[in-house]
């Protein structure tokens, strides 16, 4: 994906990460629903006013409501997430109620890498992790989850880090 990176443009995450993140919740809801429908039908929960068919409908409606709440939360979470590859630093902002903004100057970035699990590989997305000098060695300071053009983002940030370090060395810093 050789393209000129639009300087300072906000980059949002794609639908792929919402599917990846939402998949875990859907799996949990499916398991809960299967267990309730399998074992709950034999229980006389509500006596004559709450039949087995009514129980099935209530379980299915409860799972549907939980499904929409879950995906609504994921949509809000990822629609409020963006990153910017600027001229002097990378900015990563996320959060709905508690907004967190991380500014990573190129001069301080030590490593840029991408990782993907099995499901992310299937969707063609990866997580970009940015480590800085003086940061926690076990946790990246900047994480951009589930982006489709991750190879380009890693190479673009790496190129800018190299340029910043070259400028720093030539200026005697």
pLDDT tens, position by position, 8-46 = 556 666 666 666 666 667 777 778 877 777 766 555 555
**Band of the pLDDT at 157, cuts 50, 70, 90?**
very high
* Six token digits for residue 124: 């063609």
Q: Is residue 3 part of a domain?
A: no
Number of domains making up the chain: 2
Q: Is residue 5 part of a domain?
A: no
Residue ending a domain, choose from 28, 57, 78: 78
Q: Is residue 146 part of a domain?
A: yes
Q: What integer pLDDT is reported at residue 5 of this predicted model?
A: 45
Domain residues for the domain of 57 are: 15-78
Whether the CB-CB separation of 84 and 9 falls below 8 Å is answered with yes
Closest alpha carbon to 142 in 63, 57, 84: 84
Same domain? 33 vs 110: no
Q: Give the chain's end-to-end CA distance (angstroms, integer).
A: 34
Same domain? 100 vs 152: yes
Same domain? 65 vs 94: no
Residue ending a domain, choose from 55, 78, 101: 78
* Six token digits for residue 168: 């720093």
């Amino acid at each position: 994906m050789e393209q000129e990176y639009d300087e300072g443009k906000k980059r949002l995450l794609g639908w792929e990460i919402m599917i990846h993140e939402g998949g875990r919740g859907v799996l949990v809801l499916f398991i809960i629903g299967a267990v309730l429908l399998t074992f709950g039908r034999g229980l006389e929960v509500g006596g004559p006013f709450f039949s087995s068919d009514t129980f099935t409908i209530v379980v299915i409606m409860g799972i549907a409501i939980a499904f929409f709440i879950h995906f609504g939360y994921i949509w809000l979470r990822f629609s409020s997430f963006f990153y910017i590859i600027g001229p002097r630093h990378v900015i990563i902002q996320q959060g709905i109620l508690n907004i967190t903004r991380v500014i990573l100057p190129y001069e301080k970035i030590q490593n840029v890498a991408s990782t993907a699990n099995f499901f992310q590989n299937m969707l063609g997305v990866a997580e970009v992790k940015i480590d800085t000098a003086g940061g926690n060695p076990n946790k990246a300071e900047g994480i951009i989850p589930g982006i489709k053009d991750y190879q380009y983002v890693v190479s673009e940030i790496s190129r800018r880090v190299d340029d910043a370090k070259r400028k720093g060395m030539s200026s005697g810093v």
